[in-house]
A and B are shown apart, each in its own frame.
Chain A
């Protein structure tokens, strides 16, 4: 049981490049989400999914796309990277969205956009 895994751990992009941050969980969790963490701020929700084939926007979705073709995987795509997207990105999952389900976080991806 690996929990929530994220790849890569670090990434440097040039403005305008695209890339996909990978997130996978092996706990059969239905609810998955992406957050970004900026200096001096808490985590903010980018996108979330309540199950395979279902995604929706969070607080800061602009510039990001997601898909959920399987229960296990929830990739985050940056279509045209901008310096404002320099941040640490966390993926999280839980069995469902209820009060009793603990959110499990991945180790994070540090992204720098030059």
Chain B
């Protein structure tokens, strides 16, 4: 079974600062994918970024980037130039493409990120 651990229940930073959210995972699989989802107060789950385990290059999406360390099983999210609209719960998630979706997405418990004005 796969597990995802987010060790920071809550973080708070000032607007325009850079913040890094931590995520570690455990799996015996070699082919997998990692995701960061954002859940604002509206409850909508929004995909922020994805990373393929076979790719060494870290994924980036505008102000969002990841630091993927496969050997350490670490997958942190960096948000640059943070904005008030970044305030949300952030979930790290894990997916195995094989198995037909029987395990679905495995989520961490989330980090509540607060951007202070």
* Interface, chain A (partner B; CB < 8 A): 31, 33, 35, 40-45, 48, 50, 56, 58-59, 88, 90, 92, 97-99, 102-103, 105, 107-108, 110
Which A residues touch B42, using CB under 8 A?
Answer: 107
Task: Given A42-B91, A56-B102, A58-B104, answer yes or no on A90-B45 (Cβ-Cβ < 8 Å).
Answer: yes
Q: Please determine whether B104 and A59 come into contact, CB atoms closer than 8 angstroms.
A: yes
- Min C-beta distance of A61 to chain B, whole Å: 12
Q: Please determine whether A42 and B110 come into contact, CB atoms closer than 8 angstroms.
A: yes
* Interface, chain B (partner A; CB < 8 A): 4, 9, 33, 42-45, 47, 52, 91, 93, 95, 97, 99-110
Q: Please determine whether A97 and B109 come into contact, CB atoms closer than 8 angstroms.
A: no
Complex Cα gap A41–B107 (Å) = 8
A-B contact count (CB 8 A): 59
What are 13 inter-chain pairs, A to B, with CB distance below 8 A? A41-B109, A42-B93, A42-B106, A42-B109, A43-B45, A45-B105, A48-B101, A48-B104, A90-B45, A98-B97, A99-B95, A99-B97, A105-B44
Contact of A45 among B4, B91, B103, B108 (CB under 8 A): B103
Which B residues touch A110, using CB under 8 A?
Answer: 43
Q: Please determine whether B104 and A88 come into contact, CB atoms closer than 8 angstroms.
A: no
Complex Cα gap A58–B106 (Å) = 11
Complex Cα gap A99–B4 (Å) = 18
Which A residues touch B103, using CB under 8 A?
Answer: 45, 58-59
- Min C-beta distance of A58 to chain B, whole Å: 6
Contact of B4 among A35, A40, A42, A107 (CB under 8 A): A42
B47 (CB) vs chain A CBs: closest residue: A102
Task: Given A40-B109, A42-B109, answer yes or no on A33-B104 (Cβ-Cβ < 8 Å).
Answer: yes
- Min C-beta distance of A24 to chain B, whole Å: 16
Contact of B100 among A50, A59, A102 (CB under 8 A): A50
Q: Please determine whether B101 and A88 come into contact, CB atoms closer than 8 angstroms.
A: no
Q: Please determine whether A43 and B52 come into contact, CB atoms closer than 8 angstroms.
A: no
Which A residues touch B52, using CB under 8 A?
Answer: 99
B45 (CB) vs chain A CBs: closest residue: A105
Complex Cα gap A45–B100 (Å) = 14
Complex Cα gap A107–B42 (Å) = 8
